[in-house]
Amino acid sequence: GAWLDEREEYYKALTESFYLQRRAGMIETLFAWWTDVLRARNGVAQRDLPHAKEATAALATRFSTAEILRRIRCVEELRDQLARNIHEALAIEVAFLTIFSAK
């Protein structure tokens, strides 16, 4: 009856909340990653992800500052798009293709 419907709604909302929290965490981690790449490119020692220092430093040698900033802007755009009512899977796919493309 009603109790079961309430429990279903509760767990549905809880699951969605966890999902949105994890998604936001993923976006913030991507932002921290590319910010660390930018720091490495410009010789700044501080890192948000110190355990990834070698990887971000290696990436910093492959891209110019302008290319890194473009990728950071893409992460910011993805974060903004996900805050709006758009097709989530498409937004993530397009952003990842842009952020992680070889160009």
pLDDT by 10s per residue, the chain, length 103? 899 999 999 999 999 999 999 999 999 999 999 999 999 999 999 999 999 999 999 999 999 999 999 999 999 999 999 999 889 999 999 999 999 886 6
From residue 85, how far is each of 21, 71, 75 by CA, in Å? Answer: 17, 23, 17
The closest alpha carbon to 99, from 80, 75, 81, 82, belongs to 75
Model-level pTM? Answer: 0.85
Please give the structure tokens belonging to residue 68.
């890194």
